[in-house]
């Protein structure tokens, strides 16, 4: 198969056309790829920022909830301590009141015995002096 010189020129022109089309397509693909990579980068930055914001809000919410739980538990513990102090104080007051009554009884018994001893001693002295 022989190709004549006249047939080669249109073939070379066609190959040059195809090469030019390929170059323009390659340039278009390159610009499309750069545009696409820019969009992907922006989407990744936006997604990361949203995730970080959500994480921060969740963390703050968790800290707030745990702080509220700690405050509630602290209040409950303080109330328990207050109840124990009040119970101990009530027991102490009751014991002091009982002790107060016992001291009063002891004073009455001692005074009564002293009065009886005085009467008996006075009677004995009178009997000894009169006799």
What pTM did the predictor assign?
0.41
3: Cβ contacts below 8 Å, ≥ 6 apart = 11
**Please, which pLDDT band fits residue 108 given cuts at 50, 70 and 90?**
very high
Q: What is the rounded distance in angstroms from the CA atom of residue 8 to the CA atom of residue 11?
A: 5
- Read off the pLDDT of residues 22-45 as tens digits, 9 standing for 90 and up: 887 777 778 888 888 888 888 898
* Better pLDDT: 2 or 20: 20
Handedness of CA 36, 41, 46, 48 (dihedral sign): positive
DSSP states along 49-76: HHHHHHHHHHHHHHHHHHHHHHHHHHHH
Percentage of residues of the chain with pLDDT beyond 90: 15
């Amino acid at each position: 198969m022989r190709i004549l010189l006249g047939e080669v020129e249109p073939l070379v022109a066609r190959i040059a056309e195809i090469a030019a089309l390929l170059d323009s397509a390659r340039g278009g693909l390159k610009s499309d790829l750069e545009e696409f990579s820019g969009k992907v980068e922006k989407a990744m930055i936006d997604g990361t920022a949203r995730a970080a914001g959500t994480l921060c809000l969740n963390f703050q919410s968790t800290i707030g909830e745990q702080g509220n739980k700690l405050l509630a538990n602290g209040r409950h513990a303080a109330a328990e301590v207050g109840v124990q102090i009040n119970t101990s104080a009530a027991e102490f007051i009751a014991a002091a009141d009982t002790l107060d009554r016992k001291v009063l009884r002891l004073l009455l018994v001692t005074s009564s015995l002293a009065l009886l001893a005085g009467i008996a001693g006075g009677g004995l002295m009178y009997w000894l002096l009169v006799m």
